Chains A and B, each alone.
Chain A
Amino acid sequence: MKRFIFLRLVNIIITLFIIATVTFFLMKLLPGSPFDEERLSKLSDEARLEFLAKYGLDQPVYVQYAKYIGSLIKGDLGISYYYKGQTVNALIKDRIGPSMLLGIQAVILGLSVGIILGIIAAYRHNTIWDYFTMLVAVLGVSIPNFVLAAILQFYVGLQWGLFPVAYWEGYQHTFLPTISLGVTVIAIIARFTRNEMLEVLQQDYILTAQSKGISECAVLIKHAIRNALIPVITILGPVFVSLLTGSLVIENIFSIPGIGSLFVDSIKMNDYTTIMGLTLFYSAFFILTILIVDLLYGIIDPRIRIHGRE
């Protein structure tokens, strides 16, 4: 177990190092610069170089790279070009709150609704309940969430006036974005839970429990659901990816100051350090999610011996 975690950690560090290197050189290949080029075009060539020198951009690429990796080891993601005077660390720290809150709420919404739908669908297999759930599940992954967000904002927010249209000023402001993000999660989880439940219901121990004469309700709760839910943890990886994708567009639509909108903007503004910093941050978060899922799974499900897995 210890060896397993150690190996995984080494792997994580190698992965992050590779990502840092790849993004760094990708940034160097990107067209354009993070500055107001229209403005700089007015400066003479020397003045322009002098301006770049202030950001260390006149040095050879390998020197810039060494410096970047050097500060990365110290946990310093550098200084933003676009948000002048701000460190990328501070930017991420400022913006992470709303994104985390929305992400967690979407996961909670997705888990609660998705699991219930999944259980009902499996229990009432091949009935109207099942078909309805599967419809929800398929539509949930099929409707692009930015389309959904725009429609929710227009109807629920503006026409019906139920929830705030946009901004980030109070708890009710999280509702529409959470739903927009959560629908995909509901869909993923409902579908997964249904399949797991169907499998569990065919197991011998369910038959055993039934033949012992335990009430159906108890069989369902004590034996079926408990065992069907354990593997749900494993899909937190894909769920994370869908939340990430969603947050990139949904935060802009609802004017939420989160890291998703920061990422899209830094791309548009060629803000190299912020792009690199966020890429690393997302990767680290993603990798850690996977690691935690694996560890949790091993702890919760006694049948699994981590070192025995591929």
Chain B
Amino acid sequence: MQNMKKKEVEIPAKMFKIVGRKEETLEEIKRSHLTGWQDGWLRLKQNKAAMISLFVLLMIVILSIIGPHVNTYTYQQTNYDAVYLEPNSDHWLGTDKFGRDQWTRLWEGTRISLYIAVLAALLDILIGITYGAISAFKGGKVDHMMQRIIEILVGIPNLIIIILLIMMMKPGITTIIIAMVITGWVNMARLVRGQIFKLKNAEYILAARALGADGRRIIIGHMLPNTLGIIIINMMFTIPSAIFTEAFLSFIGLGLQEPLASLGVLINDGFQAMRNHFYLLAFPSIVIVSLMVCFNLLADGLRDAFDPKMRN
């Protein structure tokens, strides 16, 4: 829009120099050859928000692994002489009503939340890809049937089913993951199917074929990278929503078993005590918000980086 306002500048002809026309360099590829991945990574590196997010995420993951072992406490060790301690040099993030060390519990909880979310997302993807790929490659009647099933599943509000399933099964990590996966894979299946359909008819696949690429090369070299991008991006969006779902379930009292901690359990405990022990709510909230923000920004960045439409 701004361009059209620029005034025309006169450039005298003597400023030009004729360099001639060289047949051999005309078709030369000047840019160094980059695979789609390298290209995407380069783009991602230019996205400051995404890089910072990636860094913060790595920090959180590292902390969630080593954090619980940095001090002498364990996440379930109670001490009734030291309940509700404010953050201090001994208990860096204070203690809860059982006198349990919050630093340890926070990272333990982060680890469990991440574990739940990543595992749920991976399972979603596994089932989704299988279902979507079968549907897309088989086509015809099989595809039609499988699509009808999906249409029905899409109409069910996930959360309600998750709640009902958790009520039925023994509460615990496995239950939460199963409940989330049972309804969660549908989206992925639709995405994968749509993508494969699109790719089947894409012009560059045709071009590759015309250039003599065999089926293997087409699938590994073209179809897979292009589908994988979407899958990874979707996973980056699935993980935070799984973290959120877990927190939500814990908040309405359908969470993990004591003394296990997760971010949801910690936030729920903190919520009960927020009036007078705000730190109990603050720290897990900060971690969950950072996780959500970082995953979202990273996902945005990845999408921008791998989406050809965004190329200048």
Contacts and interface: CB of A to CB of B under 8 A. Distances in A.
Q: Are A and B subunits of one complex? A: yes
Interface of A: 11-12, 14-15, 18-19, 22-23, 26, 29-31, 134, 138-139, 141-144, 146-147, 150, 154, 199, 210-211, 216, 241, 244-245, 248-249, 264, 267-268, 275, 279, 282-283, 286-287, 290, 310
Contacts, number: 100
B240 A282 contact: no
Nearest to B271: A150
B246 to A, nearest CB: 11
B53 to A, nearest CB: 10
Interface in B113-164: 148, 151-152, 154-161, 163-164
B1 interface: yes
Contact of A150 (B1, B164, B274, B296): B274
Nearest to B290: A142
Q: Report whether over half of chain A's contact residues are helix, strand or loop; otherwise say mixed.
A: helix
Contacts of A143: 285, 289, 292
Interface in B221-263: 240, 244, 247-248, 251-253
6 contacts: A11-B148, A138-B296, A144-B288, A249-B252, A267-B252, A283-B157
A248 B289 contact: no
Contact of B271 (A30, A147, A211, A264): A147
Given A142-B240, A142-B296, A245-B248, A283 B160 contact: yes
Given A26-B168, A142-B289, A248 B157 contact: no
Contacts of A282: 157, 160
Contacts of A14: 152
Contacts of B247: 144
A12 B151 CA distance: 9
Given A144-B251, A147-B281, A279 B164 contact: yes
B271 A146 contact: yes
B176 interface: no
A283 B159 contact: no
Contact of B252 (A19, A264, A310): A264
A19 B156 contact: yes
Contacts of A286: 155-157
Given A143-B289, A249-B251, A15 B152 contact: yes
A23 B164 contact: yes
A283 B271 CA distance: 30
A139 B289 contact: yes
A268 B248 contact: no
Nearest to B309: A199
B293 A138 contact: yes
Nearest to B165: A26
Contacts of B151: 11, 15
Among B152, B161, B251, residue most surrounded by chain A Cβ atoms (within 10 Å): B152
A12 B248 CA distance: 28
Given A139-B293, A144-B247, A144-B267, A216 B168 contact: no
A22 B152 CA distance: 13
A141 B296 contact: yes
A141 B292 contact: yes
B9 interface: no
A286 B248 CA distance: 20
A69 to B, nearest CB: 17
Interface in B201-222: none
Contacts of A29: 168
A282 B161 CA distance: 11
B194 interface: yes
B288 to A, nearest CB: 7
A225 to B, nearest CB: 15
B167 A267 contact: yes
Given A146-B251, A282-B157, 9 more contacts: A11-B151, A11-B155, A26-B167, A30-B167, A143-B292, A210-B4, A211-B4, A245-B159, A287-B155
A179 B192 CA distance: 36
B152 A18 contact: yes
